[in-house]
Every structure is written in structure tokens, then in C-alpha cells.
Amino acid sequence: WVKIMNKASETMNVVACCSNELLRNTLPVMYSELEKCQKSLEGYLEQKRNKFPRFYFVSNPVLLQILSQGSDPQSIQIYYEKIFDAVDSVVHDASDPSLIKEVFSRLGVDEEHMSLDRPVKAQGNIEDWLTDLLLEVQSSMKTVCGECADEVEVLSKDLDILRPFIDKYPGQFSLLALQLLWTADVGYALENCRAKKGIMKDTNRKCFQVLQTISSWCLQDLGAKMNRIKIETLVTIQVHQRDVMSDLVNLYKSKKLSSADDFEWLKQVRFRWDPEASDQLNDEGAMIISVCDVDFKYQYEYLGCKERLVITPLTDRCYITLSQALGMYYGGAPAGPAGTGKTETVKDMGRALGIYVVVTNCTDQQRFTDMAKIFKGLCQAGLWGCFDEFNRIELPVLSVVAQQVLAIQNAKKSNCEFFQFPGDPQNVMLDPVCGFFITMNPGYAGRQELPENLKALFRGVAMMVPDREIIIKVKLCSVGYVNFTELAKKFRVLYRLCEEQLSKQKHYDFGLRNILSVLRTAGKTKRDNTEANESLLLCRTLRDMNLSKLVAEDTPLFLSLLADLFPEVGT
């Protein structure tokens, strides 16, 4: 090879350099040896992935780095985020560096941590101790979940302890407690509405009281950014729960609802702790989440402190469709234009069930072998997979994918522990919790129409237009506005009129991105001026954040629209 390289340096011509017998005889042999090495490497990595299925979602180069450094647990810190949903780092014991005591989730400079019930020994093969770490995180999460569920009964009788209760638990369990409290209160009210007069009204008043209490905290100095996200997320979910309760009260008054078995209540996402049930970890109780007639068991994935979507009627319908699809062992297929929240809704439903959702951005370069790797990982790890822009995959690949998905769904229907995956000589383990979702943008250039045999395996849900007014209302409430209902209506009407009446400019944006940006600024303005008139604060925020981008001819019209909508405020 030294002679060949020297000749290449002297010749400086590819064709002349390659036209020799030595090279022609040597290259095929070396290429054959290279293929053997690659095949052996793939087999070795496949063995490691079978032992710890989350390795299926890590690329070969990164997995080799992880395996090569497995004997040094400290060097694995940078890779935890590729394996877990929200674990960014772990804390090792000072006296014994091989023991892992806590896991951390980071949001900028802020950190949220969770202690493990039993330290995990990071020793031996990395796939073995990572499995131990995953199980211990889930087990510790379940312990905290059980404690939280027990304390909810005390919280229900004394709302004065709400603030210390919320501060005590991580964001994930604070939110879970709020949902447990709401489900128990509303369920009890519906069961006893015939016997106890006025119980529906009292429960509605309690929901509003909880909302007012939490919303008032948004105007306080909450310190870390993570704390603010935690409180605003609680408000986001509580607004929806208050709205649902108000609707149930109205239906009860009009005699269209009379018990806890009515569909208007059953279609909601309901949470309860069953001390006599068992789940994937042990027999010491289980958190049950119900949507219509489908029950899910909480999966105890550590999710950190993350924002949740504003729940609109569209989100509710999507939840119902997806839960029914999973109940019948099918997949879900939200479809609609970009920016309507298809992927985020799937991820949000996953967070409600405490499960890790692996998102894959599909392209026309996707091959059936790539899809097989992801499917096997999801089946063995018991995770959800969301395939974005699924209809960009080429038609021949989609035909093979249909057979792969069908094999998994048939195995789930038969309650198989292992099944034969197409193209794999070995049986693949199946965790029945796994789920598959595809999102599509119909009608876009370069998108395929799904084959009928694949389309039949997924239940479709149309997500065309997000409900802006509800999103604005909830976000205004979560940043501390009291008169959020009226202000949200004015905000929505202003932007609708702007889209209709202002001139068409390429740089104009009155969509959700601009709306959320204005709402963030409105929240900061409210915190800086807690006693000021809310209409004045929102009006000025809308004016200041939109005037700079308007062309001269549109400015007078925009100001007149503002003046019409906010007559009590001078612009």
C-alpha cells in the first residue's frame, strides 16, 4: 500500500494510478474483508440493542462511543439525553463513584432532580446497568406517585396546603395531583348529584377557586425559570378542567346529564390511583388513566418540568380517536397542514400517560431496514413512536412497512410475548404498551398517497384549524390575567381583522408564532405592572409588537382597529 500511495503521489492521475494488477487483485479481497467486518459489527451492536432496546434509537457511531466508555460511568453523562426523555445527568456517590443516587433534568441554568430509592451500581456491561438505572428510576417514580396520591385526599379537604404541596413535588407529580384531585371531585359530584342538591355548583366553585389560587402565583417572583413553567403548566391544565366542569354544570341544569356514566364525562381524560391494581413494576397499586372505555396504565417515565399543550375541543377529539385506536390495537394518524399541533398532540398525550414518545422525521431516503430498526426498538422498549410526514416515504418502502406494522398489531391482538418480525430470523420481544402514530400533510408536493393496506392499520383524525381564542385565553390566564376571557376574544378578533383587512405583505405573520410571542411579552408586562388596567397592558403590548412591522398605509387602519376593540384605552 505504501508503494501504491507513492505512485499515486508521483502520477497525480487517478486512471493511470489505478491501472495496475496489484490494485485490481487487492481491492476486491479487501472490500470483501471490510464487508465481513461491517456484518460482524452490526451483529455485535444488534446484540447490545436487544439487551437494552433504547440503543435502537442511537446511531451506530454514538453507540460505539457509549460502549467503548461504559467502564467509566462519568464519561456517559453526555449521552443520557439520547436514552431518556428528560434525564440530562446523574449524581454519583462521593464515597463510591460507581453508585448513582439521583437523576437531573435541566432547563437552561435551572435543574430539577429526583432521588432514587436505591442507589444503582454502574458496574459491568453498560447495557446491564443502564437497564437497572431505567427500572430504578421508574420504581422511584412510582413510589413518589403513590405518596402523592395518598396526600391528594388530604389536599381535597384543605386547599390551604395547596402551595406547600405543589412546591414539595416535581412538576410532573404536581400536575398529576391536580388531575387526580379534579377527577375525584367531579366523579364524586356526578355520582351524588341526585342525592345531594347543589353539589355540582359547589364542585364548580372549588375548581374555580383552585384556578384563581394557582393563577395568582404567576404574578409573584417565582425565582427559577423552571418554577414559572411548572406553575404556568398547572394553570394551563386547570383552565381546561374548570371549563369542563362548567360545561357539565350547564348540562346538569338542562337535564342532559345525570350520572358519572354519561359520555360527556367519560370522554374526558380521567386519572385515578388504584391501590389494588398492579402494573409493569409491581403489585403495589397502579395509576390508571381512562379515556372513554379505554384504560391505560401510567408508565412512570421521568419527564422533567415540561410545558403542556392548551387543551381545546380539537385536542379532546384527537385524544378520543387516538385512545380508541390504541384500544383496538391500531395506530393513530393525525393529518392536516403544518402548524396545527399534530406531533405535539401525540407527544402531549404521551406525557399524560407518562410514556416516552420517540419522534422520527421521515424522508424519501428512508429504507425499510431503517424502519425495521425503529419498530423493533419501540416493541422491545415499550415506547410510542411518532413518524412525522410519514407520506414522504417512497411507495415501495411503505408497502413493506405495512407488513411490519401488521405483524406487530397481530402480535398485540394475540397477547404474544414474542413474535416473528418480518425479515428477522430471531423472535422479537413485544411490550404491549408500544404504540405507533403517523402525521401527514396531505396535498403537499412530494407526498405519497398511503397504500390501502397501510391506511387500514391507522385510525385517522383531521387537525385542520387550531382554536386560537381558547389558546390565547388559557395562556393569558397562565401569565396572571384575571379578565382573560374578554381579552382573549378581543385579541382573536383583532388578528382575524388584520388578516382580512390589512394589505398582503410577505413579512406579515398573525399566526400562532406571533400570538405566543405577544403573550409572553404581555405576561412580563403584567408582572411588572400588577395593579395596572389589564386592557391597557394588552392593548399597548399588541400595539408595540405589531406597529414596527406594518407598512405606512396599514398603520392608521391597525390603530383604528385597536381603538374600536379597546375603546376605554387611548392608543
565 CB contacts (<8 Å, ≥6 apart)?
490, 493, 494, 539
Return d(Cα 176, Cα 238) in angstroms, integer: 11
pLDDT tens sequence across 471-527: 898 888 888 888 888 999 999 999 999 989 988 888 888 877 788 889 889 988 888
C-alpha cell at 541: 403590548
Cα distances from 510 to residues 489, 490, 521, 537, in angstroms, run 15, 14, 16, 19
Q: How many C-beta atoms lie closer than 10 Å to residue 218's C-beta?
A: 20
Return d(Cα 143, Cα 118) in angstroms, integer: 12
pLDDT, position 329: 94
Percent with pLDDT over 90 in the chain: 42
Q: Which of these, 65, 64, 59, 54, lies nearest to 87 by C-alpha position?
A: 54
Per-residue confidence at 445, pLDDT binned at 50, 70, 90?
low
C-alpha cell at 309: 399543550
Cα distances from 39 to residues 36, 132, 285, 488, in angstroms, run 5, 29, 46, 60
Per-residue confidence at 570, pLDDT binned at 50, 70, 90?
low
pLDDT average, residue stretch 527-534: 84
Percent with pLDDT over 70 in the chain: 98
Q: How many residues does the chain have?
A: 571
pLDDT average, residue stretch 381-407: 92
Return d(Cα 336, Cα 207) in angstroms, integer: 34
Cα atoms in the Cβ-side hemisphere of radius 13 Å centred on 504: 1
Q: Which of these, 47, 46, 120, lies nearest to 80 by C-alpha position?
A: 120
Per-residue confidence at 442, pLDDT binned at 50, 70, 90?
confident
pLDDT, position 8: 75
pLDDT tops 60 at residue 271: yes
Q: What SS3 class is residue 290?
A: strand
pLDDT tops 60 at residue 91: yes
pLDDT tens sequence across 55-67: 999 988 999 999 9
Per-residue confidence at 1, pLDDT binned at 50, 70, 90?
low
Cβ(60)–Cβ(38) under 8 Å? Answer: no
Return d(Cα 83, Cα 102) in angstroms, integer: 16
- The sign of the torsion formed by the CA atoms of 381, 384, 389, 390 equals positive
pLDDT tens sequence across 66-81: 998 877 888 888 899 8
Return d(Cα 466, Cα 367) in angstroms, integer: 33
pLDDT, position 450: 86
The larger pLDDT score, comparing residue 483 to residue 24, is at 483
H-type alpha helices, 328-367 = 342-352
pLDDT, position 182: 94
Return d(Cα 555, Cα 561) in angstroms, integer: 10
pLDDT tops 60 at residue 406: yes
Return d(Cα 379, Cα 436) in angstroms, integer: 10
Per-residue confidence at 542, pLDDT binned at 50, 70, 90?
very high
C-alpha cell at 491: 385579541
Q: What is the pTM of this model?
A: 0.87
Per-residue confidence at 113, pLDDT binned at 50, 70, 90?
confident
404 CB contacts (<8 Å, ≥6 apart)?
368, 371, 372, 375, 421, 422
pLDDT, position 289: 95
pLDDT tops 80 at residue 246: yes
Return d(Cα 400, Cα 416) in angstroms, integer: 22
The mean pLDDT value of the chain amounts to: 88
Phi and psi of 554, rounded to 5°? -90, -20
Q: How many C-beta atoms lie closer than 10 Å to residue 349's C-beta?
A: 26
Angle at 364 between CA 361 and CA 369, to 5 degrees: 80
Cα atoms in the Cβ-side hemisphere of radius 13 Å centred on 456: 7
Cβ(100)–Cβ(134) under 8 Å? Answer: no
pLDDT average, residue stretch 286-310: 90
Q: Chain-centre distance of CA 551, in angstroms?
A: 39
Strands 286-291 and 270-274: antiparallel
pLDDT tops 60 at residue 571: no
With cell 436505591, the residue in question is 118
pLDDT tops 70 at residue 536: yes
Per-residue confidence at 266, pLDDT binned at 50, 70, 90?
very high
C-alpha cell at 70: 461504559
Return d(Cα 51, Cα 555) in angstroms, integer: 63
C-alpha cell at 131: 437497564
pLDDT tens sequence across 169-228: 888 999 999 999 999 999 999 998 888 888 999 999 999 999 888 888 887 777 777 888
